[in-house]
Amino acid sequence: MARSGNPAGEPEPVRRRLLAEATRLFAERGFESTSVQEIVTAAGVTKGAMYHYFDSKDDLLHEIYGRVLRLQMERLTKVADGPGTVTERLHAAAADVVLTTVENLDDSKIFFRSMHQLAPDTHKSVRAERRRYHERFRDLVSEGQREGVFRADIPADIVVDFFFGSVHHLGTWYHTDGPLSGAEVGAHFADMLLTSLRP
């Protein structure tokens, strides 16, 4: 199931293609409404091949989550641990998560529509990882509150839930061909967040 040690560097096109098509289809019609047959047909492979690379349909979803969770945490860590004032870092982190979300809008759609379909254990582990991500973000808010640059009369947790609700819902309204680019929406969202935190 894990990426097989492919010493030659071959890009495992089958596995990759399966994940890509599954992502597209899950985002388009939802996890439950996408059949394994549709996924393998779209990827141009057979069912047997899919069950060779993945344990189950659930496993496919889990892998998609793993990919996006790793990516987001990596980018947040880079910004949060980087240079700059807490205001600058929170602004950058907020703008960046909006940008990466609209750049991977399918992943985002899947996340909030289908997470509850995972087997309980898998579900729990995904939620735990997401919580760690939110905590890192919350720590930035708390840091600013302690320093007195952000208002402290709103719990940092609420601020995080407030902001990530907005981010997670991008999938329901944002369109690439709409009037605003991802960066522009990111700027507006980060502005609103920072403004709402002004003491």
Tell me the DSSP string of 24-70. HHHHHH-STTS-HHHHHHHHT--HHHHHHH-S-HHHHHHHHHHHHHH
91 binding DNA? (CB under 7 A): no
10 Å Cβ neighbour count for 170? Answer: 19
Query: Contact 182/99 with Cβ under 8 angstroms?
Result: yes
Closest separation in Å from C-beta 11 to DNA:
12
By the 10 Å C-beta count (0-12 exposed, 13-18 middle, 19+ buried), 58 is classed as middle
Q: Determine the size of the site formed for a copy of itself (CB under 8 A).
A: 36
The identity of residue 2, as a single letter, is A
Closest separation in Å from C-beta 143 to a copy of itself:
18
123 binding a copy of itself? (CB under 8 A): no
By CB under 8 A, the residues from 169 to 188 that bind a copy of itself are 169-170, 172-173, 180, 185, 188
4 binding DNA? (CB under 7 A): yes
By beta-carbon proximity to DNA, the closer residue of 18 and 99 is: 18
Among 57, 62, 130, 138, binds DNA (CB under 7 A): 57
152 binding a copy of itself? (CB under 8 A): no
Tokens 């860590």 sit on residue:
77
Residue 53 interacts with which of a copy of itself, DNA, none, CB < 5 to 8 Å by class: DNA
Among 3, 29, 52, 146, binds a copy of itself (CB under 8 A): 29
Handedness of CA 54, 56, 59, 61 (dihedral sign): positive
Query: Contact 69/130 with Cβ under 8 angstroms?
Result: yes
10 Å Cβ neighbour count for 64? Answer: 22
Among 11, 28, 41, 46, binds DNA (CB under 7 A): 46
Query: Contact 92/84 with Cβ under 8 angstroms?
Result: yes
Tell me which residues touch DNA (CB under 7 A).
3-4, 14, 33-38, 45-49, 51-53, 56-58
Q: Which residues form the interface with a copy of itself (CB under 8 A)? A: 29-30, 32-33, 112-113, 116-117, 151, 154-155, 158-159, 161-170, 172-173, 180, 185, 188-189, 191-193, 195-198
